[in-house]
Amino acid sequence: MTTTLITGGTVVSATGSMLADVLVDGETIAAVLAPGSVLLGTDLAASVDTVVHASGKYVIPGGVDAHTHMELPFGGTAASDTFETGTRAAAWGGTTTIIDFAVQTYGQRVMDGLAAWHEKANGNCAIDYSFHQIIGEVNDDSLQAMRALPGEGISSFKLFMAYPGVFMSDDAQVFKAMQVSAETGMMTMMHAENGPVIDVMVKQLLEQRKTDPYYHGVARAWQMEEEATHRAIMIAHLTGAPLYVVHVSAKQAVEQLAAARDIGQNVFGETCPQYLYLSLEEQLGAVSEEYGAFEGAKWVCSTPLRSRAEGHQDHMWQSLRTNDIQMVSTDHCPFCMKGQKELGLGDFSKIPNGIGSVEHRMDLLYQGVVDGRLSLERWVEITSTTPARMFGLYGKKGAVAVGADADLVIWDPQRPKVLDQQNLHMRVDYSPYEGRTVPGSPAAVLSRGEVVVQDDRWVAKQVQGRGRFLKRGTFGL
């Protein structure tokens, strides 16, 4: 087996930082040692196969992105990243595990939906991956099938309170599914927006000829995110289900989560880089020479970008510090402008919903460290350690510890990167962060002991198929 010594770096974990060397044996971490250790009389650096020098750099556990949608069918098209291109882009940015969403569509059997996702991903991923299960139709059959998911290594499922007639579960369905969550220990994940009200808002805006992308943000009002979040929390309280609200963007929804946590309820919230950096006014309201007011289509996602004047972005950063929001995922779901986002020209409701950022979660959040919004340790916690613990991967992922998978990032704080489209590895024809430069980026990335990216080169022998499916346990927070 191949041995690697990462030497001279600062190992950063969720609980502290220290100068240490990391010895990798095969696919796992064999030791975390005082720098320059001589072990049983052996000079380690002279005896290993590979030495990676990390002086002046941080050695962190590889990122865990718990919310991606590779190849997701949506609105007559499909997300532009495949499992191959999307997982490779993730690795370039320092993320070494993704949890994608297998989809049970309306009328389909749950296990058929899961099998279809295995087929898309199997043999194609560059890094390790797992699935949550979307339950698109809660009925007697799917409730029964859900009980078998933990045995398949799927310990979380997602429901929608939005998208009536497509994915939406009504309150009775949410209640029944959460009872299964309470019974099995599976995590209920919730897209919390009041879909029926939003759909009326959409229709009324379109009738008033308000068809630009900006109105996507107007229609999906924060009141309907706060209301649905509250409703989900109360049904979870009644059933005893653990609840994880995905892509929280409204500060009022955070307040609902914080209040429930304060009384001891098992509820958690995730936000995404777009809700920290981007806004209704600047992005959804953008105008360009090429697209006019349709430029904003680049940033149409749900929940929507919120008003900066209302202070949602600043509040979200603060919530990450105070642990009212526990982690950051991407909701990676890219669509090209050409031929995809353009489906919504003249009607914002037909713009495929999604932004791609699986490659830029680690660097955009590291910007928060440089800006003094997060500590180094909190950065590691919200991007790697907590996602691993929340979704039953901790011990294997999310930690620089003996016995853990050697998923490691050598983070160079002095390695700026320009997030322009021509530098992307994601398969999409624009960058949602065009013109932005982040201060640090990975000098090297290891996945299960193998160096996959080094000095801006892909160096792993294999891209496709080196990633393995991870069976997950129930959550460990």
Interface with Zn ion (CB under 5 A): 331
The rounded distance, in Å, linking the Cα atoms of 34 and 29 is 15
**CB-based closest residue to Zn ion:** 331
Q: Where are the alpha helices (DSSP H) in 386-429?
A: 386-390
Phi, psi at 371, each rounded to 5°: -80, 0
Measured CA to CA, the distance from residue 133 to residue 158 in angstroms comes to 6
- What are the CA-CA distances from residue 170 to residues 36, 111, 175, 373, 414 (Å)? 60, 22, 9, 38, 50
Work out how close the CB of 224 gets to Zn ion at its nearest, in angstroms, rounded to a whole number: 17
Helix (H) / strand (E) containing 269 = strand 267-271
Extract the runs of DSSP E, i.e. beta strands, from 124-195: 128-135, 156-160, 187-191
Least CB distance from residue 191 to Zn ion, whole Å?
7
The secondary structure of residue 352, as a DSSP letter, is P
Question: In this structure, what token pair is assigned to residue 408?
Answer: 């490691």
234: its two tokens: 């109360």
- The Cα–Cα gap between 255 and 258 comes to 5
Contact 299, 305 (CB under 8 A): yes
Separation in Å, CA 467 to CA 96, 161, 402, 450, 463: 9, 33, 21, 11, 8
Q: Match 């050598």 to its residue by tokens.
A: 410
H/E run at residue 274: helix 273-277
Tokens of 416: 């700026």
With vertex at residue 231, the alpha carbon angle to CA 153 and CA 133, rounded to the nearest 5 degrees, is 20
CB distance 304 to 331 below 8 Å: no
Strands (E), 207-266: 243-245
| Residues 355 and 424: beta-carbon distance below 8 Å | no
Bridge partners of residue 6, in order along the sequence:
22, 52
